[in-house]
Amino acid sequence: MARRGGWFWIWLGLLGVPGWGAAQPLAEDAPISFITEEWAPYNYMQDGRLGGVSVKLVQALQAALGRQDPIRVYPSMRAKLLLESQPRTMMFSMFRTRKRETRYKWIGPIGRDAIYFYQRPDSALQIHSLADAKSVSVIACRQAGLVYNSLVAAGFTNLDAGAYSSQQVYGKLLRGRADLAVSDSPLGVRHLLRQWGLPATALKQTQVQLLASDLYIAASLDFSDAEIARWQEALDSLKAQGRLDQLYQTLE
């Protein structure tokens, strides 16, 4: 009997181990780890302060729900690892793709954007399709993440994927070290050029779109559906009040 009792408690403990059973969601008043990455104009650091449209939106949602959890910035890949490995974690701003659909729970959309290839305005290259982009010598991009994975999946073999930031990606293009660059949305590229004191015409957006999707807040799977629904209701309420539109108007 004692041996059976011992095995019973071991079995019961394994229910909380991944693969042996689903751990119960923590209480809704437990802390939430809010994480984001450098991706202007949605979330970024400037002069030591965190800003951006999505940051302001998440802060407004926190206020509506009576929360004050801090928001921390991490490199993209580390942020995604934290989202998938630690409890009660939310990350923004995330493209909601088919591959990601079941890996997280979703709150949104909080916007919509697309990623295009860019070239120098004096370039003679004619870029009208993905095939045209594949034919150039060098495309600058980040070393990892959704854009890089999409390029590899599409069969690109001409990538300079050594960059950690948007500044490095588009800096290579401006210095003539790449024929094309792809990393950020049109709003993000415009924001970067403004930071550099350059006109919007310093880079030319091609007509070739790599990907487009709605933007969301992604939540780790241990959140209860009821709690996610409350966040969604708070977001829908802010949208109905016109708050989201007001935030995006500041980018114009």
Q: What is the mean pLDDT of residues 35-59?
A: 92
Q: What is the pLDDT of residue 25?
A: 61
Q: For residue range 5-34, list pLDDT tens digits in order.
A: 444 343 334 344 343 334 456 677 899 999
Phi, psi (rounded to 5 degrees) for 30: -70, 150
Q: Tokens 């019973």 map to which residue?
A: 8
Q: Tokens 């709690």 map to which residue?
A: 227
3-state DSSP call for residue 91?
strand
Phi, psi (rounded to 5 degrees) for 34: -95, 125
Q: Tokens 């998938």 map to which residue?
A: 84
Q: What is the mean pLDDT of residues 100-107?
A: 97
Q: What is the pLDDT of residue 252?
A: 54
Q: What is the pLDDT of residue 234?
A: 97
DSSP 130-149: HHHHHTSS-EEEESSSHHHH
Q: For residue range 207-233, list pLDDT tens digits in order.
A: 999 999 999 999 999 999 999 999 999
For the chain, the average pLDDT equals 89
pTM (2 d.p.):
0.81
3-state DSSP call for residue 50?
strand
CA dist 104 → 57, 96, 195, 230 (Å): 20, 10, 33, 16
Q: For residue range 144-158, list pLDDT tens digits in order.
A: 889 999 999 999 999
Q: What is the pLDDT of residue 5?
A: 46
Pick from 79, 71, 84, 69: which is nearest to 32 by CA? 69
In sequence order, what are the beta bridge partners of 116?
209
Q: Helix 166-174 crosses helix 186-195 at what angle (to 10 degrees)?
A: 80
Q: What is the pLDDT of residue 250?
A: 79
Domains of the chain: 30-112+214-249 (3.40.190.10), 114-213 (3.40.190.10)
Q: For residue range 166-203, list pLDDT tens digits in order.
A: 999 999 999 999 999 999 999 999 999 999 999 999 99
Say which range, 15-24, 114-123, 154-163, has the weakest mean pLDDT.
15-24
Query: CA-to-CA distance for 76 and 101, rounded, in angstroms?
Result: 18
